[in-house]
Chain A
Amino acid sequence: MNRLTIHRVLLWAVLLLFAAWFLTPMYVMVVTSLKDMAQVRDGSLLSLPTDPGLASWAKAWSGACTGTDCRGLQPYFINSLAMAIPAVAISTLIGSLNGYVLSKWKFRGSEFMFALLLFGVFMPMQVVLLPMSQILGWLGIASSLYGLILVHVVAGIPSTTLFFRNYYIGLPDELIKAAMLDGASFWQIFRRIVLPLSTPIMVVTLIWQFTNIWNDFLYGVVFSGADSKPITVGLNNLANTSSSVKEYNVDMAAALIAALPTLFVYIVAGKYFVRGLTAGAVKG
């Protein structure tokens, strides 16, 4: 009986130790963002602010310098919103239509085409950067929000299709057959029967896409122009500006601002987030 208790105590100790390790950066970020630079220097990483204040937050939002611009993260935040929302919506919708066809209306070669599409989930983005810049240039949308949205939509189609297709395979085929016998058309079946049953996967896909698109840096830095940089690029510029004095507290506040939307989604809908991760990685 005693051995059991010692095991449990050890178990809990290890778990809590790791929990602390995972939480420390978040704690440090919050705590640092509430200090002024004097407190930062006098105190240490883990010390609480002696005189907490939101000055760094205000500065990060509207006054910090990101390169030559000193308008803070606000414009970048808006850019990210303007980019992410359409991209998430469009790629999810396309994914659901593709998944519907690939699971319920298979035709010759459709499985093979799906396999080819799957590679797109894993390929390194580096390989499309250069040609894509050319194409966006030709289309006249290089260095703009529209270019970013297009890239994210196209890059997201393989993942969203995968999610929906795997989910719809679980819907009984007889449901579709019954609807066909009842006289429903391809679109009516989708609208009246399949879509209403898609809520779980819809949420998973929306969260997954939003998190990935909001957090993306590579496409953001390559394909954006002066007025269309997303918040990840803004944050990186802000934190890496080698001008004058480093204001670590502002850096931390900025990092938190950038992280808040996806963190919020995670806390509110974490269950679906996990489902999205496992759906993406563990096939079938």
Chain B
Amino acid sequence: MGALNIRGIRKSFGPVDILKGIDIEVEAGEFLILVGPSGCGKSTLLNMIAGLDTPTTGSIHIGDRDVTWLPSKDRDIAMVFQSYALYPNMSVAENIAFALEMRKVPKPERDAAVQRVAAMLQIGHLLDRKPGALSGGQRQRVAMGRALARDPKLFLFDEPLSNLDAKLRVEMRAEIKLLHQRTRTTTVYVTHDQVEAMTLGDRIAVMKDGLVQQFGTPDDIYSRPATRFVAEFIGSPAMNMITAQRGAAGVLSKGVELATNDAQRQALRSGGAELVYGLRPEDLVFADDGLPGTLTMIEPTGPETYLTAETAVGKLTARVPGNAHRRVGDRVHLRWAAEQAHLFDAAGGQRLA
């Protein structure tokens, strides 16, 4: 029995189905990520776990308690909101202690909890301030402190880093990860940012249109994406997608034969004639022979350079470390290994090989 069990959750709003059947089991102490584009249902699912919304059918268990219809305060969970939702009229210390106050915890214990949390998050010097006098990063920490003080069975995060600027986001991401390593509380974290998903999660559920497209470790998701959507969603720059057809001897796209190995050709027989051939940018290398093309765009990022080339099969983006020492307009040749290709059915998007 996992720490959190989501079984058969469906949610409809009249004729519209927001969640079409979600099944996820989370182990104790695990950091689960719910990631997907806006409208995929991840926030709705999180609200149901929190008790702020109810499903049409299905159940949610925390430990072995069925909490599907329990009000929030009985579920022993804490949540960090996107806007932090700190109480503006109370000081930081009062904000952190509020939940304990609602549980009628006596004052000395409340104060001790506040001190403990403040030390952990290094916000001891902010305890008397009001939220209005804090910076974005400080508010984030106070929001986490408020959740920590409860010592709950489950942590929920609803896109907590979206309101921070890029640099701060990287810093806070690391803090959240460190915090999880220390407290080992089961966590569900919602985000639309795939970098956060990959760096923070123990396991990731990629969602689209109310369904989980793939549920696995970051490595699973990255190296063996289950659908075309997952493949394009995770990884930046996105995977190169080449429309192709299954030919007698292999895979053809606009007359060019694309490399395939036996296992792939075997798997292809079960799919349709139309397929999509995917290549990650880092799997493309520049060589003296291979697919010819002309460089149309060069984007240096510092540690790497992204190069886009116009080829017979379409635009392909490659990724090389360091400076590429090339110029727009150069004629290049691209090469890759067949094993590195990801093959998807063109119609349904599911992975073939």
Contact = CB atoms under 8 A, between A and B. Distances in A.
Nearest to B82: A174
A178 B88 contact: no
Interface stretch (A47-55, A60-68, A153-161, A182-190): A182-190
A129 interface: no
B99 A183 contact: yes
Contacts of B86: 178
Given A180-B72, A182-B98, A175 B87 contact: yes
B89 interface: yes
A172 B82 CA distance: 11
A175 B85 CA distance: 5
B73 A181 contact: yes
Nearest to A198: B89
A178 B89 contact: no
Contacts of A196: 89
B102 interface: yes
A193 B89 contact: yes
B79 interface: yes
Contacts of B88: 197
A171 to B, nearest CB: 9
Interface of A: 172, 174-175, 177-184, 188, 192-193, 196-197
Interface string B125-145: 000000000000000000000
B229 interface: no
A192 to B, nearest CB: 8
B81 A182 contact: no
Nearest to A182: B99
A99 to B, nearest CB: 18
A172 B72 contact: no
A179 B50 contact: no
Given A177-B50, A182-B146, A183-B102, 11 more contacts: A172-B83, A179-B98, A180-B52, A180-B73, A181-B52, A181-B78, A183-B73, A183-B103, A193-B87, A197-B88, A197-B89
Contacts of A181: 50-52, 72-73, 77-79, 99
B346 to A, nearest CB: 42
Contact of A178 (B51, B79, B103): B79
Interface in B97-131: 98-99, 102-103
Nearest to B71: A180
* Interface SS of chain A: helix
A182 B102 contact: yes
Contacts, number: 56
Residue with the greatest number of chain B CB neighbours at <10 A, chosen from A177, A178, A192: A178
Contacts of A180: 51-52, 71-73
A188 B102 contact: yes
Contact of B85 (A177, A183, A192, A197): A177
Nearest to A175: B85
Contacts of A179: 87, 98
A175 B79 CA distance: 12
Contact of B52 (A175, A177, A193): A177
Contacts of B150: 182
A182 B82 contact: no
A97 B105 CA distance: 28
A223 B146 CA distance: 55
Nearest to B87: A193
Residue with the greatest number of chain A CB neighbours at <10 A, chosen from B73, B85, B88: B85
Contact of B102 (A172, A174, A175, A184): A184
20 contacts: A172-B83, A174-B82, A175-B85, A175-B87, A177-B50, A177-B85, A178-B85, A178-B87, A179-B87, A179-B98, A180-B51, A180-B71, A180-B73, A181-B52, A181-B73, A182-B98, A183-B103, A192-B87, A192-B98, A193-B89
A172 B85 contact: yes
A179 B89 CA distance: 13
Interface string B52-74: 10000000000000000001110
B153 to A, nearest CB: 13
